[in-house]
């Protein structure tokens, strides 16, 4: 079963090709995404990698968490389910009135 990993603290120059080369030794990479800013199209410093097997994902977490790229230490951990993130559509903002300027 495929497992999705969160990759944080990416240098802005990191490309998808570079990340693919980094993760391939641990197993098959199903998908890879670097999150980019909508306006500038520059990397926001994090991304997601989906590995084909749980063993490959565990090995990648063990070996690449703290790995140094361009003087930055990568953060590699299992990604949270999308429902666990909180945003503007959360009920915390249901009773607030937003000002109009």
Q: Are 30 and 98 in contact (CB under 8 A)?
A: no
Give the Cα separation of 86 and 27 in Å (integer): 32
What is the CATH number that goes with domain 3-80? 3.30.70.330
Q: Where are the domains of the chain?
A: 3-80
Sorting pLDDT into bands at 50, 70 and 90, what band is 89?
Answer: low
Does the predicted model carry a pTM greater than 0.85? Answer: no
Q: How far from the centroid of its chain's Cα atoms is residue 10's Cα? A: 9
Give the Cα separation of 59 and 41 in Å (integer): 31
Give the 3-state secondary structure of residue 56: helix
Task: Express each pLDDT in 14-72 by its tens digit.
Answer: 999 999 999 999 999 999 999 999 999 999 999 999 999 999 999 999 999 999 999 99
The vertex-27 CA angle with 23 and 29, nearest 5°, equals 60
Tokens linked to 27: 């197993």
- pLDDT score of 94 more than 90: no
Q: What's residue 2's pLDDT?
A: 87
């Amino acid at each position: 079963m495929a497992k999705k990993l969160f990759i944080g603290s990416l240098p802005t120059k990191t490309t998808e090709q570079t990340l693919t080369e980094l993760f391939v030794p641990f197993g098959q990479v199903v998908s890879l995404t670097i999150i980019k800013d909508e306006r500038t199209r520059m990397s926001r410093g994090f991304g997601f990698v989906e590995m084909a097997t749980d063993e490959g994902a565990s090995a990648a977490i063990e070996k690449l968490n703290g790995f140094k790229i361009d003087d930055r230490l990568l953060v590699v951990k299992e990604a949270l389910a999308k429902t666990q993130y909180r945003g503007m559509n959360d009920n915390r903002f249901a009773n607030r009135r937003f000002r109009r300027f």
